[in-house]
Amino acid sequence: MSDDTTQTNRLIDETSPYLLQHAHNPVDWHPWDEQALELAEEEDKPIFVSIGYSACHWCHVMERESFEDEEIAEYLNDHFIPIKVDREERPDLDQLYMKATQMITGQGGWPMSVFLTPDLEPFYAGTYFPPDDKWGRPGFKTVLENVLELWENERERVDEISGEITEKIQRSVETGDDETGLSREPLQSLYQQLDSSFDARHGGFGQSPKFPPSMKLRTLMQIGDDEAFDDAQQAHIDEMVEITLVRMASGGIYDQIGGGFHRYSTDERWLAPHFEKMLYDNALLGLAYADAHRATGREFYVRILRETLDYVQREMTFDYDDAARPFYSTQDAESEGEEGKYFVWTPESLREVLDDEEAERAEAYWDITETGNFENRWSIPNRLHVLDEEGLEEAFEYRPDDIADIRRRLFDARQDRVPPETDTKILAAWNGLMIQTFARAGFVLDNDNYVQSARRAAEFVLSEMVEKGGRSLETDDFELMRTYKDERARFTGYLDDYAFMAVGLIELFEATAEREWLRRAERLVDRMIELFGDDEGGFYYTGEHHDNLLARDKDQLDNSIPSGNSMAVEALWRIGELRGRDDLRDRADSVLRAVFPQLEHQPRGMGQMLQGLDAHLSDPLEILVVAPEGTDPSPLQDVVRQTYVPHSVRVTADLGEVDLDDWSETIPLLEGREPIDGEPTAFVCRRGTCKRPTTDPDELEEFLSET
């Protein structure tokens, strides 16, 4: 950010921390609004759109190098209409122009730098540009001069390029139709592709940089017992999952001192991360570690899950009031202008906190050395050296008590450092992911504290981001907003906001057996269909109530977060099963048929969607526990908590205040499920075919293990 805090531009009135970071630049930034777009048309100037987010390291670099440069700013202001966009606020713009950037350059990333005609059609694009020519790439000054030359002297060429790119974007949103057949072949193709790229030594897939493959790992876990795979393949699936989960949690990508995962690893070992922390990564990885614990029983995965969620509660939760506490978006990679400075150590810095014996213990445990493993002077705490020497099983040992105490003291000392900035805006979609994770962790670990975190975040989103707009979930035309910051809910929600929140509320219902959460999830799904549904199959990312630009994207690929369509499938089949709604099951089938050609072509990029396909083709398992008034269902519930059963819906019906008939009106699956001899009774069914009712936890465990 510029040192001249008296100089401001139009971003000063925005709520996005990312936009506010640029509010004192000499660049005459506009937010994306009608005023900026009309000005471009009136003055016949090309639009320069810079898209990024607050935790983006290279966004900060480009700001310091170029957007604070008076000469560059003057050139931009004179010849272009500069617009700054927070990709987390406007994912529709980010998706649209990322496609254009990838078509033009063959790659994408942030900061994204796109040049548009006044008709908003892209004709030139890139990502980070240094201010001057170097590293074999043009500098930003050169880019601006070349683009202006093209605009002023080769307008026909500009029209040709922009028209071609726009046509490609419009074709890219086409999907299959209801006549497309479904099969398990994409699941088998995913296994083959991941097998061929699996790093057997370090875990993960492919070479550096490595991003946490949370959705792929969960898909592998879910197909691990599929009859389509022989015993050797099933064992290899387990190996791919466990090596990757353990190596990630033992590397520097995991914050060994404070908990939580950084964005990605810059090396193949998971050692040196890009230090930003994203809410969605920790939500998705939390689900993966929760599932891994249920599948294996390993306490190692519980420790990583707890430390991750404790970090989110401590550092990423907005203390709004006792009833409502949503989650923040991101934490920066930088502090004091240096990436990673907050997280790294030296032997000397250890001795500022610990005595010599304790410091030596910490050095050996976390690989803190004089030479360091980061920028030749710092050490990123990790446990990879131990795994390299002693093998994977070493990770499954409990942390010794003395190390737990040392870790706590190092964490306390680290709190005195200048921390990375936190982007404190609230995003509905990302909160939906974390609500799902806290609710599932709360159920699996029987931890009411985690369930309360999910409940409080859900209450905030539904009150401050729906009802404060004057239209509650009870009205036909309610809208879920995308963001909340500085007491303002802004930007009408996108597909992922509705779908992610719906799944989070379904998970909260299954964790609490409070029917109101299911009712609210169903309202979100019905409104989602109304606003985003395409009768030809699939969902548009933007609704009819949005200003749709060059095309309405259908958001098929799972990237760093699941696609809106893939989470919509999960919401549809889960509510369809719980509420007995064939129309929702049919809609899920329609989405899967629409995206199936893409699933066949690119299964590796659709891990979450493949989970929906697997659930749809498997028929979900129904796990019902009915507890008469005054009885304790926890022995049966404990079995359900501890057993990994993918693609299932679960309900615990407490008959204390609500009788079975009332429960059956909400959950038709419960109709006629009378408890045996006045005892808590479990019913395990799959599409009308049921095991015998049981009151015996051991028998229930046997039934679930047979599925």
Whether omega for the bond prior to residue 111 falls within 30 degrees of 0, making it cis, is yes
Query: Any alpha helices (H) in 251-383, and if so which ranges?
Result: 279-296, 299-315, 347-351, 356-366
pLDDT value of residue 2: 46
Q: Looking at the predicted structure, is the pLDDT value of residue 361 above 80? A: yes
- Mean per-residue pLDDT over the chain, rounded: 93
* The two structure tokens encoding residue 393: 């099983």
pTM for the model: 0.94
Q: Looking at the predicted structure, is the pLDDT value of residue 107 above 80? A: yes
Contact 438, 427 (CB under 8 A): no
pLDDT value of residue 55: 87
In three-state secondary structure terms, 675 is coil
- The pLDDT of 530-548, averaged and rounded, is 88
- Domains in the chain (CATH in brackets) are 10-172 (3.40.30.10), 187-335+423-618 (1.50.10.10), 621-705 (3.40.30)
Whether omega for the bond prior to residue 209 falls within 30 degrees of 0, making it cis, is yes
175-179, 235-239, 367-371, 613-617: range with lowest mean pLDDT: 175-179
DSSP 8-state code for residue 572: H
Per-residue pLDDT tens over the stretch 461-485:
999 999 766 678 888 889 999 999 9
Integer-rounded Cα Rg, in Å, for the chain is 26
- The pLDDT of 249-257, averaged and rounded, is 97
**Contacts by 395-399 with C-beta closer than 8 Å and gap 24+?**
395/246, 395/249, 395/250, 395/300, 396/298, 396/299, 396/300, 398/299, 399/303
Pair type for strands 338-339 and 422-423 = unpaired
Please tell me which residue, 401 or 425, carries the higher pLDDT value: 425
Which residues on neighbouring strands pair with residue 597, listed in sequence order?
none
Q: What are phi and psi of 147, to 5 degrees?
A: -65, -40
Look up tokens 């719906």; give the residue: 502
Where do the DSSP E strands lie in 613-669?
621-627, 648-654
SS3 content of the chain, % helix, strand, coil (to 5): 50, 10, 35
Contact 502, 575 (CB under 8 A): yes
- The pLDDT of 178-190, averaged and rounded, is 87
Contact 608, 187 (CB under 8 A): no
Of all helices (H) and strands (E), which one includes residue 114?
strand 112-116
